[in-house]
Amino acid sequence: MEIKNFTDIRAIFFDNITIKQTIFKNTFWLGLGIGVAKFLKLILIMYVARVLGATEYGKFTFALSFISMFLLIADMGLDEIVIREFSREKGKEKEFYSLLSLKILLILATLALIFIGSFFITPDITIRKIIWILAFFCVIENFSLIIYCIFQALQRMEYQAWATILEALSVTGAGFFVILNYPSVENLSYAYLFSSLIALIFVLSFFHFKIFPLRISWEKSIWKKFLLMAWPLALASFFGEFYTYTDSVMMGHWKLITETGWYNAAYRIIMITFIPMDLLAASFYPVLSKFFKESKERLQETWSYQMEIMILLAVPIVIGGIALAPRIINFVYGSKFIPSILTLQILILMTGIIFLCTPFQDILIVSNQQKKFFWITSSAGIINVILNLILIPKLSLYGAAITKVITYFLILFLFFEFAKKFTPIKPYNIKFLFSFILAFLSSALMYFVITQPKIYYLNILFSILIGAVVYIITFFILRKILNYFKYHYA
């Protein structure tokens, strides 16, 4: 798109014109929203962990992990289906009204089950109370997701970005106020709850006046229609949440609270690396859903583009993360969290695998293969539980991290096989091999540079920035050389 004036610049960031421009626009806004939100919350968590210590922080993360295993009931796989269906067909407001009522009922059921489950998972009254408070925080955040689904279906990610930033500002501001004046895990939980409530009121008000008026409808036929489409994803989410949080819940239940704090300290950093993956997936998913119905050629083109980007991001994150893990942990949490270093180095391998899994996951759902997705996650969930039962007692938090890596290797293998057999895309592509080679060579030079003492012992933010610049420059030079030989000697 040629830029001639301010109107053209505005169109790039606020209109949907071409495929790549729309993906760029969506990615920009999601990146801004998620990036700002994750950064603010990371700063808060850094301070919380330093002030409260690994044991108290472990209580907080244990409570969140336990609650997260129940949130699939509030979701029931509806989010992906709502995005898919509403991105393909406009004017479905009446169905959305019924989905709101369904969401409310699911949230009430979730709260009831969390309350009951809290009496079985821990005898500690303080942790139990934290679970109850954070349960309300989590379901409020979960309710916002159905609003964000409509933003994504309409490809208006700028609205989601603004809402996400507002919620992060509220949580961070309230969190710092509490930690500085009334430091305790319980008070921090209250801060999370009330700030998320304020953000939800804003989001609902914005949606009501900007998108379409909010109403509640109780049409059971709509519930049935969407639940029939979503149930495989709901069951898949059950196993997904299981192998995401079962390790923390097991360690907490076995009273390894300090180890849970060390483990989740590393995992919080891993979640930061998911930012580019999440925002790209959110940008590509509605486009893939649209092209599945309209054009198989454009579907393949878009999916291949997504996979190439994931490869180019995954390789340097893994190699750079392993190299800089000691510096990152020390910078974020301090010397008291040294056991988190090896955990982070193991979990960073999982990050690279998840990046590669994402395009396969998206194409399975877009291709209406929710049942296949369920069988993959259920198999992985069973393996995950078995390995955790074996490895956590022997290796503590490191056993949990190793289990994560093995689980996602299995998922990637199954995703590849199922996508090859049950979707329109062709996962074999010589361009992917070249992308891997270029990414690996560029990352190798990046590794050499950032492990030099003068670079390694800089402020970690500068080390990361230098590594990123080296990787990007090397990658583009190597790609130019490769394209030159392809053009002149092919």
- List, as one string, the DSSP characters of 410-450: HHHHHHHHHHHHHSS-----HHHHHHHHHHHHHHHHHHHHH
pTM over 0.85: no
Q: How crowded is residue 339: how many other Cβ atoms within 10 Å of its Cβ?
A: 19
Question: How far is the first Cα of the chain from the last one, in angstroms, to the nearest whole number?
Answer: 30
Residue 48 lies in a domain: yes
Exposure string over 477-489, b if 16+ CB within 10 A, otherwise e: ebeeeeeeeeeee
Residue 480 lies in a domain: no
Tell me what pLDDT residue 451 has.
Answer: 95
Tell me what pLDDT residue 72 has.
Answer: 76
Tell me what pLDDT residue 1 has.
Answer: 47
Residue reference for tokens 């003068």:
454
Exposure string over 5-44, b if 16+ CB within 10 A, otherwise e: eeeeeebeeeebeeeeebbebbbbbbbbbbbebbebbbeb
Structural contact between residues 300 and 426, judged by C-beta atoms closer than 8 angstroms: yes
* Residue numbers of the domain that contains 401: 16-428
Tell me what pLDDT residue 148 has.
Answer: 82
Give the Cα separation of 319 and 442 in Å (integer).
10
Give the Cα separation of 200 and 218 in Å (integer).
22
Residue 249 lies in a domain: yes
Phi, psi of 349 (to 5 degrees): -65, -40
Residue 295 lies in a domain: yes
Tell me what pLDDT residue 157 has.
Answer: 75
Among positive and negative, which fits the CA dihedral 290, 14, 169, 199?
Answer: negative
Tell me what pLDDT residue 438 has.
Answer: 92
Number of structural domains in the chain: 1
Give the Cα separation of 74 and 234 in Å (integer).
10
Residue 122 lies in a domain: yes
Give the Cα separation of 233 and 75 in Å (integer).
10
Tell me what pLDDT residue 89 has.
Answer: 66
Q: What is the mean pLDDT for each group of 10 consecutive residues in the chain (490 residues)?
A: 53 63 72 78 81 84 84 76 72 76 89 90 87 90 82 77 85 89 88 88 85 80 81 65 72 82 87 80 78 82 89 94 94 86 95 92 83 80 88 91 93 90 83 88 95 93 94 90 63
Give the Cα separation of 289 and 85 in Å (integer).
8
Task: Name the residue among 195, 241, 183, 215 with its Cα closest to residue 50.
Answer: 183
Tell me what pLDDT residue 314 has.
Answer: 94
Structural contact between residues 236 and 377, judged by C-beta atoms closer than 8 angstroms: yes
Residue 290 lies in a domain: yes
Structural contact between residues 181 and 61, judged by C-beta atoms closer than 8 angstroms: no
Residue 478 lies in a domain: no
Give the Cα separation of 153 and 155 in Å (integer).
5
Calculate the CA dihedral of residues 169, 209, 88, 358 and round it to 10 degrees: 0
Task: Name the residue among 206, 229, 226 with its Cα closest to residue 368.
Answer: 229
Residue 281 lies in a domain: yes
